[in-house]
Chains A and B, each alone.
Chain A
Amino acid sequence: MDYIAFLIFFGVMVGIALVFVSLNWLFGPKTPQEYEDYPYECGVPLYDKSAQTTFHQGYYLLGLLLLLFDIEAAFLFPWTIVYRYLGVFGFIEMFLFILILTYGLLYAWRKGALNWQFEMEEI
C-alpha cells in the first residue's frame, strides 16, 4: 500500500515532465531559420560535425572508483540498521571490512588513481 501512493506520484510526475517538454512546441513561434539549430561553437563553422568522439579519461577512472566504493556502501547499509543487535561481533566484523576498504583506498591513492589525470604535454 505504501508504494501505491509512490507509483501514483511517479505517474503524475512523468505526465508533468512530458507537459514541460512539449510546452515550447505548443506555445512557441515556428519560424525556422537556416542556422538557428546549428550547434554552439563561438560563431565559427564546426570543425567536426559530431562532438561524440572522445572524452577525458579521468572521468572513466572516476567511474571505476565509484563502482568499487558504492558496492561497499551497499554492504554497509544493512549493517548500520542491525548493528544495534549484533554487539561486539558486528563491530569487529565491520571494522575489518572498513579496514580492507581503507587499504583499497590507500592503494588507489598510492597508485595515483585519485589524482586528476592530466595529459602529458609534449614539447
Chain B
Amino acid sequence: MESVWVDLLVAVIKILVILGIALGLGAYLTWVERKVAAHIQRRPGPMVVGWHGLLQPIADGLKLITKEDLFPRYGNRFLYNLALVMALVPATLVFAVIPFGPEFEVFGYRVKPILTDVNVGILLVFGLGSLAVYAIALAGWASNSKYPLIGSMRKAGIIISYEVAITFAVMGPLILAGTLSTYQIVQNQIEQNLWYIWVQPVAFVVYMFSLLAETGRVPFDIQEAEAELVTGFTVEYGGMKFGLFPLVEWYIEVLTLSAIAVVLFLGGWSPLNIPFVGFVDPLFFLGPLSPYAWFLLKVTALFLFILWLHWTLPRYRIDQITEIAWKIMLPLALLNIVITSLIAPFIWD
C-alpha cells in the first residue's frame, strides 16, 4: 500500500516538472525566438522590458490576458473553445513519454526521469500528434469566417500528408531498436554503440521535413501566409486564446518532436558517438548530470536549427508542399524501411 503512495508522489513531482518545462520554458522560448530572429536580421530585438528584454514574455502574457473576450458572431461557441483544449492537451501530453535521462536512485527508490515508460510510447506520440488536426480543423470551422477556414484546410491538408511520411520514417529506427518504449530505444542505442542517425540518415531527413510541416515552421507555413491569409486559422481568436495557438504549435510541439527526434536518431541522453566503437563524453566533469546536459544540448541544437530555417527560407506553395510529401518523402521512407530490414541483422549483434 505504501509503495502506491510513493508512486503517486513521484508521478505528481514529475508532472510538476513537466508543466514547468512545457509552460514556463514554452513561454520563454518566445523570447529566444525573437532574439534569434532579430540577430539573423541584424537588429537587437526586444531590449526595453528588463535586461535585454528578459521580462518581455511576462509583459506579453499580461497584455494578452487583459484583452476583451471576443467571439465571431456567426461562429459555434462550443467548438470554438474546444479547439483550444484540443490544441493544448494532446501536444503537452507527449511530454509524458519523453525520457530526460537514465534511471537513478533517491532514498533507495529507483526513479526513471520519464512520466510513464509505457511499452507503446512511440505509438502514443503519433496518436496524440494526429489529434492536432482536430484542433486546427475545428478552429477554422467554428470561427465561420473565410480566412480561418482556408487556413485551417491548408494546415489540415499539410498535416495529414506528412503524417504518413513521418510514421513510415520512424519505422526504420524502430526496426533497429525492436521496441516502442522511448526509454528502451535509447537504452538499445547505448548497448549497440550506435546513434541510429548514422544508419538512418534518410529517415532523419524525412522526419525533419515532417517536423517542420506538422509544426507549421517556415518552409511549410503556407497556412499562416500573413500576406494573404493574415495568420490563417487564428484570425478570429483574440487575447490569450490567440496566444495559445503559437505557444502550442511553434514551441511545445517543436520541443516535443525535437525530443522524439533526439530519442530516435541521436541517442537520447548518450554522449558523442563513434559508430560501433563507443561513446566519448567531453562533459564527463558534470558527473551524474552529464546525461541531462547532453539531452538538453541536443534538443537545443535541433530547436535552434529549426529557428535558423524559419528566419532564413521563403515558403512553398500548398501544391508543392503536398506533392513533396507524397511523391518524394513517402517513396523515400518506404525504400528506407526495406533497406533497413536488410541491414538490421548486422546491427543487432
Chain A residues with CB under 8 Å of chain B are 1-6, 8-10, 12-14, 16-18, 20-21, 23-25, 27-31, 36-41, 49-52, 55-56, 58-59, 62-63, 65-66, 69-70, 73, 76-77, 80-81, 83-84, 91, 94-95, 98, 101-102, 105, 109, 114-116, 118
Let me know if A2 and B118 touch, CB within 8 A.
Answer: yes
**B335-348, CB under 8 A of A: which get 1 and which 0?**
00110011010001
Is B327 a contact of A109 with CB atoms below 8 Å?
A: yes
Taking A20-B240, A39-B144, A40-B235 as given, write out 10 further A-B residue pairs in contact, using a Cβ cutoff of 8 Å, ordered by the A residue number.
A9-B115, A13-B93, A17-B88, A17-B89, A24-B65, A24-B239, A39-B74, A58-B322, A73-B171, A114-B322
Name the prevailing secondary structure of the B interface residues. helix
> Across the interface, do B230 and A40 meet the contact criterion of CB distance under 8 Å?
yes
Q: How many angstroms between the C-alpha atoms of A55 and B157 in the bound complex?
A: 12
CA of A94 to CA of B71, assembled, Å: 51
A98 and B337: CB pair below 8 A?
A: yes
Give min CB distance, B94 to chain A, whole Å. Answer: 11
How far does the alpha carbon of A15 sit from the alpha carbon of B238 in the complex, in Å? 20
Q: Which residue of A lies closest to B160 (CB)?
A: A66
Nearest chain A residue, comparing its CB with the CB of B97: A6
Contacts of A80 in B (CB 8 A): 171, 174-175, 178
* Chain B nearest Cβ from A17, distance in angstroms: 4
**Does chain A have a CB within 8 A of B306?**
no
- Highest count of chain A CB atoms <10 Å: which of B146, B147, B163, B236: B146
Q: Do A63 and B160 touch across chains, with their CB atoms under 8 A apart?
A: yes
Q: Could you jot down 15 A-B contacts, CB within 8 Å?
A: A12-B19, A16-B19, A27-B65, A30-B68, A39-B143, A41-B145, A51-B144, A55-B150, A69-B164, A70-B167, A76-B171, A81-B174, A91-B341, A95-B341, A101-B334
